[in-house]
Structure 1
Amino acid sequence: MFIRKKKNKSTLINGVRKTFVKIYYAFEKPYSPVPFYLNKYDKAIRPLVKTNNIIKRFYKREELVVDDYENLESITFKSQDGIELAGFVYTPNKESNKWLIACHWFAGHKCWALHHAKIFTKMGYNVLVFDFRGHGNSQENSTTMGLREEYDLLAAIEWLKNNKKIDSLALYGTSMGGYCVNYVSLKYSEELKKLNLKFVISDAAYGSVYRLLIHVRNIYLKIINKKKTKKIVLKIMQKHNELEQDVDFGKASVFELIKKGYKPIFPTLFFHSKDDKVTPPTDTYEYLLERNKYIEDDYLIYSYSMHTQAIRQHFLSYNYKLASFISKMDNNKADFDRVTKEWSLVEFSDQDQDEKNSN
């Protein structure tokens, strides 16, 4: 289902998002099936038919294809502030009440979250994915890098709670989606504990909007000195706060939550690359150190990877680590052994690895 769009505010982040959406669309277009073939499918399913082609021809990973469309249900629901959101419920494991909610990256959409989460279905999970506000088929609205998107994730959790039985729940997010699952699982830990949330997967996430903007400025505008960069970033945030009025980008930070006394209770697996040109890997390092005071997490930091693309560039080791972590959390060695054999997964090689957990 496609939801009616409306005009949003002219902020820098909205402008960047629109630019990247156009870039992604231009990238995806050559992979789109011919209209005659595409028109055979329901309109809501067609974006997934397109991304399946990209998975086959660009990712070159048939394992991540999701083409059993009979197991896919298109849904809509409202965010806590009334924004209409579009989602998919994917149920290849009909007898299972284990659920994953997967969140896409900035300027991405729900199909990518579903592809990247495919190994969960091999471990007995069903999956809910959705488009954040202003993305994909959801209602147009300002992107706030996690501030209002928090409401979208909470609404997805509420939909699942009201419509499905949840014996076990996991959250998985990439980039902006990673920030959201980290923030929500920290801020609403007691509520999520009651819903049987067991663990979280964070891939290439940032810890705060301020640090994200500083990192991007330092990477792409190195000619500007650091003191001036901070002033520019604070000015950008102030302007956004004035335009959006009900948001404060300075509060978009998992570090601020910890300072306020929120304690992590859900084990989290962190992925990042030390050469990430978009999100700061130092945020993952620091967040791990802060969390280590309360809980034992796991991590895999690559020496190199394009932003959001570790699963493509390091397919075998990424999915091995992911399946291993799920197996540990669920005590499910049988499915782990099965998928590692079926997908020929291998543990990460030292020559490609910057840091590795002793586990």
Structure 2
Amino acid sequence: MRRALRILLSILAAITAVGIYFTNRLMFMKKKEDEFILKREREAGRIIDEEYESLNKRDVSIPSPFGYDIKGVLAEPHDTDYYIIISHGVTENKFNSIKYMNLFLERGFNALIFDHRRHGESGGKTTSYGHYEKFDLKAVVDWLKNEKGKEIKLGIHGESMGAATMLLYAGMLEDGADFYIADCPFSDFREQLAYRIKEEVHLPAGILVPLAELFLRFRDKYSLREVSPITVIDNIKNPVLFIHSSKDDFILPSMTEALYEKKNGPKMLFMAENGVHAQSFNENRKQYEQVIDEFLLSIGIVPARKTVALVNKTSTARQ
């Protein structure tokens, strides 16, 4: 009897150790250093210090519903009520959002970039891959509308986890922006996690995913099943542009294709030819910008120039 009890306790201890280790990897995923991201973007020419420093902008601090501050930068070089919010991916920070911010500033938008919880300068202890982040994004949207008026024309651009966060936010019956651009989102986090386990650690996902589910419920108070953009995509009525690289082997392009197929109403899909995960803009900049222009023109949101001659361009996106 004692031997059986010792064996049972050993098994439970092993399960607990694996559950804690695995959920630690999720909750406290190793982030890129802020200086590394800044150096990378500078060297690639996506951040030019003189241009960024001369921009009419201000630092903002937005209260999260979870008791910490969300840190961001509001850039307003234009006298306009057109705004874009940029939602970055996991392990990145708002420096990675500057390239997208510049793209929209060139098109006459003002922009708000911010650090997700536990990233950059923002507070928050864990990463939840969109679950808690979607409520922070709601706080950012609400703050901006409170500052600038509820009638502003608003878009949200998200990359990777930031795109999934954006879709989860829009799908929780908010639909608080006039348009969305989802660059390489996952469609379902359980499915994504199972795929990454198979690719990276070659262990049975059928055991590890339910174990992660159990321990995350206990440790971080949410379920993996709640982190599933495809289950809420039907709630998004406003236009969505879906973007993915056809060579992405981290989040498979089939996930974006599934989201695109399930989305009702106005939508567009662009599969970039070059680049892997989250590299569609970096490796296909001309086509990326062209698709953004076509999308904005198709939904009647063109705050500044680039309205002439767009009609004659050949589209690379599906509607």
Give TM class, smaller chain: 0.7 to 0.9
Report the counterpart of residue 322 of structure 1 in structure 2: 292
Q: CA 1:307 to 1:216, structure 2 compared with 1: closer, same or farther past 3 Å?
A: same
Task: Structure 1 unaligned segments of length 5 or more: list them.
Answer: 1-9, 29-50, 341-345, 349-355
> Which amino acid in structure 2 is aligned with residue 21 of structure 1?
K
2:128 equivalent to 1:156? no
Q: Quote how far apart the aligned CAs of 1:347 are.
A: 5.9
TM-score (norm 2): 0.83
Q: Quote how far apart the aligned CAs of 1:81 are.
A: 2.0
2:211 equivalent to 1:235? yes
CA distance in 2, matches of 1:170, 1:129: 12
Q: Quote how far apart the aligned CAs of 1:233 are.
A: 2.1
CA distance in 1, matches of 2:57, 2:260: 35
Match of residue 97, structure 1, among 72, 76, 81: 81
Structure (1 or 2) with the larger CA radius of gyration: 2
- CA deviations over 1:75-105 (Å, ceiling 9, x no partner): 1111122221111101111x10111111011
Q: Quote how far apart the aligned CAs of 1:323 are.
A: 2.2
Report the counterpart of residue 97 of structure 2 in structure 1: 113
Q: Quote how far apart the aligned CAs of 1:139 are.
A: 1.1
> Match of 2:32, SS?
helix
2:317 equivalent to 1:357? yes
Match of residue 275, structure 2, among 298, 302, 305: 305
CA distance in 2, matches of 1:70, 1:333: 19
State the aligned residue count. Answer: 295
Match of residue 281, structure 1, among 245, 253, 263: 253
Q: Quote how far apart the aligned CAs of 1:267 are.
A: 0.9
Q: CA 1:330 to 1:92, structure 2 compared with 1: closer, same or farther past 3 Å?
A: farther
TM-score (norm 1): 0.74
- CA deviations over 1:197-243 (Å, ceiling 9, x no partner): 3210000111121122122223334x55xxx3232222223222221
Match of residue 57, structure 1, among 36, 43, 53: 43
CA distance in 2, matches of 1:317, 1:70: 26
> Which amino acid in structure 2 is aligned with residue 317 of structure 1?
Q
> Match of 1:171, SS?
strand
2:158 equivalent to 1:173? yes
Report the counterpart of residue 26 of structure 2 in structure 1: 13
**Structure 1 moving runs of 4+ over 4 Å:** 61-66, 337-340
Report the counterpart of residue 210 of structure 1 in structure 2: 190
CA distance in 1, matches of 2:42, 2:25: 34
CA contact (8 A) 2:245 2:279 kept: no
Matches within 5 A, 1:7-86: 11-15=24-28, 17-18=29-30, 20-22=31-33, 25=35, 27-28=36-37, 51=38, 54-58=40-44, 60-61=45-46, 66-86=51-71
CA distance in 2, matches of 1:106, 1:306: 16
CA distance in 1, matches of 2:126, 2:205: 24
